[in-house]
Amino acid sequence: MSFRPSQEGRQTSFADGEWGLSEGARRMLEASWAHVFATEVYPMIDEAPFAALYSDNPASRPNLPVRMTVGALILKELFRLTDEGLVEQLTFNTLFQHALNTDAVYGPPLST
């Protein structure tokens, strides 16, 4: 795998769990722990130290976002989840998806 830094912002689709939220539900989401994690913790995860762990060959497959992987591991420890429990939360829980700036349209963001 070759290293590629995370893209800023969030790419979503019409099937994203947040897309159909009512205004009240959106306010609840923005007042939740997930929004604090997404805006305060997630951007502070420094990916640069991890670049040395990846191939320099640009023809190799790009990595999953390091920020997402490290953020998921932080959430796993905070919520005392198993690996399977983490993948389940990332697949079905809008709060976890919001916290990691992802959605479950293309499956869980981590390998199972």
Is the distance from CB of 97 to CB of 104 less than 8 angstroms?
A: yes
**Helix or strand (DSSP H, E) at 2:** none
| Total-model pTM | 0.77
pLDDT tens digits for 63-89? 778 898 999 999 999 999 999 999 999
Q: Is the pLDDT of residue 106 over 70?
A: no
Contacts for 33 with CB less than 8 Å, ≥ 6 apart: 95, 99
pLDDT tens digits for 8-53? 654 444 445 566 788 999 899 999 999 999 999 999 999 889 888 8
